[in-house]
């Protein structure tokens, strides 16, 4: 039995999650799906210019795991650019670096860091101790109505 996949910490969620080449009709276009953690790996290594060890630490994964994620992302991007395929960013095994919660009782909102979320969701509002709380998500996640953040994600097509 394989080990369970470790959640990857993601600090940034792109607002634009779909790219397609100009001049190709949307119905006949092939696409590649880049996971959110693959997009984060590209951002950290290629955009911010960090070393792989630093990138792996930021994502709370090992350096070899980071390398595999980065290679997968680069391969998918190369395929899309060379073959004229669309790129969709969605899904993966990730947790946002910071999650926001709201109390349904008194409206209080608070942030919970990634490290605390690994242990599980908070059970009650820290202000009034009400168990009636909900997770709220930052703007620009780019996903459909199903879950966002932790665990496997499925989004909607943007057209």
- Looking at residue 98, its pLDDT comes to 75
User: What's the per-residue H, E or C state across the chain?
Assistant: CCCCCCCEEECCCCCCCEECCCCCCHHHCCEEEECHHHHHHHHHHHHCCCCHHHHHHHHCCCHHHHHHHHHHHHHHHHHHHHHCCEEEECCCCEEECEEEEEECCCCCEEEEEHHHHHCCCCCCCCCCCCCCEEEECCCCCCCCCCCCCCCCCCCCCCC
* Mean pLDDT over the full length of the chain: 81
| 96 pLDDT higher than 70 | yes
Predicted confidence band at 92 (pLDDT cuts at 50, 70, 90)?
confident
pLDDT at residue 137, rounded to an integer: 61
Domains within the chain, CATH numbers bracketed: 8-94 (1.10.10)
- Kindly indicate the confidence band of residue 12, based on its pLDDT and cuts at 50, 70 and 90: confident
pLDDT band of 141, cuts 50, 70, 90: very low
Higher pLDDT, 10 or 34: 34
Q: Where is pLDDT greater, at 94 or 49?
A: 49
This prediction has a pTM of 0.66
């Amino acid at each position: 039995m394989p080990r369970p996949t470790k959640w990857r910490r993601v600090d940034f969620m792109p607002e634009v999650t779909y790219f397609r080449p100009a001049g190709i009709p949307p119905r006949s276009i092939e696409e590649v799906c880049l996971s959110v953690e693959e997009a984060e790996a590209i951002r950290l290594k290629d955009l911010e210019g960090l070393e792989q060890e630093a990138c792996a630490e930021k994502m709370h994964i090992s350096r070899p795991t980071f390398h595999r994620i980065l290679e997968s992302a680069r391969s998918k991007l190369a395929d899309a650019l060379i073959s004229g395929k669309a790129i969709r960013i969605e899904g993966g095994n990730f947790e946002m670096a910071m999650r926001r919660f709201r109390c349904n009782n008194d409206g209080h909102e608070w942030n919970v860091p990634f490290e605390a979320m690994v242990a599980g969701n908070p059970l009650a509002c820290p202000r009034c101790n009400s168990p009636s709380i909900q997770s709220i998500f930052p703007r620009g996640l780019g996903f459909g109505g199903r879950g966002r953040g932790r665990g496997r994600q499925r989004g909607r097509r943007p057209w």
